[in-house]
């Protein structure tokens, strides 16, 4: 309709009418664009708010997962103490306990968190939709965390390799089958690895005695185990560093 009137005005050279109707068209397009942008921005913020709400249980799961990692390494520490006692000649440590503990002390548990998954969801555009600058910064801290320091590869120590080269494969298989990692469902309804705190197996006494003797002969393994335990301590410290910003972000989200 307006274009028809503009065409008619051009033919009649009604310049004032042309200017007014062009202004109406321009203003209409501008208002329409602004309304569209506003509506799009509103929908994006709504989507971001929904994503932040969905992030709460994800953070809870990850924090619970960290607790399971600490529990796991408390158990391996227990076995490491027994193994070191065996290397130090403690008569209270049987050959069977010594061999089993030496193996179980080498068990490791890596965190499979991948920040890239969260970053794909909360890209730069999503971060800009968060009005609260503190919340925005804390979310950015979590998204930019380097999780490589708590990956399984970081715990592939020399002790883990060397002690498994010395213990016969059939004994290792028996330990894994009866006392290895167990996948259990925790209170947060997620699967976590649990290592049994005690392990007693009907192993061949002659083979166990020979294996215990070989382990004691390789006294350097005790030094490697000490280094392994140092790696565990560093690993758990890295877990703490990662968990702190997650807990901070979870606290922020709890206030929303």
Q: What is the pLDDT of residues 175-191, one digit of tens each?
A: 999 999 988 877 667 77
The residue with greater pLDDT, 91 or 144, is 91
Helix (H) or strand (E) holding 183: strand 182-185
pTM, rounded to two decimals: 0.78
The reported pLDDT for the residue numbered 133 is 86
The reported pLDDT for the residue numbered 192 is 81
In the predicted structure, residue 24 carries a pLDDT above the cut 70? no
| CB atoms near residue 226 (< 10 Å) | 12
Query: What's 147's DSSP letter?
Result: G
Helix (H) or strand (E) holding 182: strand 182-185
The reported pLDDT for the residue numbered 6 is 47
Q: What is the pLDDT of residues 215-236, one digit of tens each?
A: 999 999 999 999 999 999 999 9
Token code pair at residue 250? 């979870």
């Amino acid at each position: 309709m307006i274009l028809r009137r503009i065409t008619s005005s051009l033919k009649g050279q009604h310049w004032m009418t042309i200017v007014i109707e062009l202004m109406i068209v321009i203003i209409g397009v501008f208002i329409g664009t602004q309304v569209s942008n506003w509506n799009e921005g509103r929908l994006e913020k709504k989507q971001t708010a929904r994503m932040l709400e969905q992030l709460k249980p994800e953070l809870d799961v990850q924090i619970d997962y960290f607790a399971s990692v600490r529990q796991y390494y408390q158990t391996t520490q227990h076995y490491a103490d027994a193994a070191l006692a065996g290397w130090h000649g403690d008569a209270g440590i049987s050959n069977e306990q010594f061999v089993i503990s030496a193996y179980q002390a080498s068990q490791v548990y890596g965190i499979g968190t991948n920040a890239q998954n969260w970053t794909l969801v909360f890209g730069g555009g999503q971060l800009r939709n968060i009005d609260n600058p503190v919340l925005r910064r804390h979310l950015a801290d979590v998204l930019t965390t380097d999780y490589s320091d708590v990956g399984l590869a970081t715990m592939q120590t020399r002790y883990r390799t060397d002690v498994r080269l010395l213990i016969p494969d059939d004994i290792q298989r028996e330990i894994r089958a009866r006392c290895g990692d167990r996948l259990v469902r925790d209170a947060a309804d997620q699967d976590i690895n649990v290592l049994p705190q005690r392990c007693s197996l009907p192993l061949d006494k002659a083979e166990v005695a020979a294996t215990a003797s070989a382990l004691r002969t390789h006294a350097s393994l005790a030094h490697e185990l000490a280094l392994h335990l140092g790696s565990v301590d560093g690993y758990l410290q890295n877990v703490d560093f990662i968990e702190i910003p997650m807990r901070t972000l979870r606290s922020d989200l709890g206030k929303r």
